[in-house]
Structures are given as C-alpha cells and as structure tokens.
Structure 1
Amino acid sequence: MGFSLDKFAEFHIGPILFREELIYFKEVHLDEYVQVKVELTKYNKTNSRFSFIHQVFRNDGVLCCTVNVDGAWLDLHKRKLTKLPEEMEPYLAKIPRSENYAETE
C-alpha cells in the first residue's frame, strides 16, 4: 500500500482477514524466486471491507497459485472494525484493480 508498519501503528489500525483461499497450480522449489501480482477485487467505502487476489508466478512466468483474501481494517485499541483513515485513501487508490473490481458504499 505504500504505508510502513510504523504508519499503521501510528493510526492504531491493522488488517484483519476473514477468509483466505489458496489454489495451487504448480510447485515452487525452495530458494526459487517468485513474483507476486496483487489486485484489489472488492472494496466497501462505508466499512472498509476489502478483497484482494494475489497471483504468484515463477521466474519463467508460470502461474503457481492464487490467494484470495477477504478482510477489513481493525482498530487495534478498540478491537473493533474501523474505516481506513482519510490520509491513507490516496495510497489505496494506487493499488491495481482487477478486471471484475466492484466498489460499494
């Protein structure tokens, strides 16, 4: 996102994941370099719930797995879901959107 862990700590928020789905296609060997492509697939502006897809590629371009996650932002002091601070929204806007991206209010 472009924000460091220190910046998240400053705002007292962090991500919480409700669902993770890993779909494996090809093996990745120990010490093999991979490239991860991340796209935002869903975002709810009202309550800051989100979904991402992560695609993991080997150096030869072969797709090895996809990781789908659903989550939200958690206020680390109140231990309750919270909205993303306005100061962080421009960074969220820089995250690539998937072809089937959906935004709700």
Structure 2
Amino acid sequence: MSFSVKFTTRWADFDANIHMRHTAYNDYAAESRLRFFKKHNITIRDFSMEKIGPILFEENTKFLREIHLGEDITVNLKVNGLSSKGERWKIQHEVFNQAGQLSAVITVYGAWLDLVKRKLTTPPEKFQAIFSDVERTEDFQEIPMKNA
C-alpha cells in the first residue's frame, strides 16, 4: 500500500531566497507520519492510553530540487527498515514539488518509547501492524535487535 499526503504550503515555510526553508521539509515529513498513524487508527489518544510514543534517533535530509513560494507539495511514506516486532523502524519520505519532481528525500530512524519507564519498548500489536502493508523501499532491510 502506498501512502502520500498533499500539502498546501504556507508563507512561513519559505525563506528570504523565496524557496522552502530546510526545516519545513522535515516538518511536512513529521506531519505525514502523524497522518499515517491516524489513517491506521492510531491517534494521540492511543499514544497516551498505551503510554508509548515514537522517538527519532536520526533524521537525514537530501535536498535535490527547490520548492518555490506558492507551490503545493506531496510527501510520501515508505518503510526502509523494520525490526521483527516493529520496535525500531526506518521511514523514508520523498517530497515532490507541484510539478511532481522529486525535491527531497528524508530518512528517519526511530523506535517506540515507554513513556513511564522512559525506555525503548516493543509496541502493542496494534502499533506493530501499521507497517505490515506499507510500501517498502527497494533497499529495505530488517533491523537486527541485539537481545532478540
């Protein structure tokens, strides 16, 4: 299953050079992840009830093409890596400009955090299932767990 979100950009997303500021790309990627969770019936309330939340270890952005003031964008989500029980994950976002040209690739590496113990944790099954049918990147790899 492919997943993407179309966004109307805002004035605040742009810098003095009249192109999208670098951190706006990452903001839209983060928003697309939250919308992905919501599409799979996982909301902020679920995070609170389960006392679990997603955290990032790394975020890497490769800029390929400018996005100019007033352009709409599309951001997709693909799984680049996943541990056996979904404890850790790598997600890749591709950001496309209004003409459909690839403008940036954002890769995030994250995990699930137990919000009470403040330690990494295995997510509940509902959380594990969300990555099962998502499109995977061509270079997808399983993430090995040290004590698994």
Q: TM-score if structure 1 supplies the norm length?
A: 0.88
**Structure 1 unaligned spans of 5+:** none
* Comparing 86-95 and 18-27, the one that deviates more: 86-95
Q: 1:79 aligns with which of 118, 125, 132?
A: 118
Q: Deviations over 1:9-54 (max 9, x none)?
A: 2111111111111111111123421101111111112571111111
Question: Per residue, is there more strand in 1 or in 2?
Answer: 1
SS in 2 for 1:38: strand
Give the direction of change, closer, same or farther, for the CA distance of 1:63–1:8 in structure 2 (3 Å limit): same
Residue identity opposite 1:101 in structure 2 = F
Contact 1:47–1:82 (CA under 8 A) maintained in structure 2: no
Contact 2:79–2:131 (CA under 8 A) maintained in structure 1: no
1:67 aligns with 2:123: no
- Number of paired residues? 105
**Structure 2 unaligned spans of 5+:** 1-36
Q: Deviations over 1:75-99 (max 9, x none)?
A: 1111100011112222221322111
Counterpart of 1:103 in structure 2 is 142
Cα RMSD between the aligned structures? 1.7
Q: TM-score if structure 2 supplies the norm length?
A: 0.65
Question: Per residue, is there more helix in 1 or in 2?
Answer: 2
- Distance across 2 between alignment mates of 1:47 and 1:59: 33
Counterpart of 2:87 in structure 1 is 48
- Distance across 2 between alignment mates of 1:104 and 1:20: 17
Counterpart of 1:30 in structure 2 is 69
Give the direction of change, closer, same or farther, for the CA distance of 1:43–1:12 in structure 2 (3 Å limit): same
Flag the structure with larger Rg. 2
SS in 2 for 1:7: helix
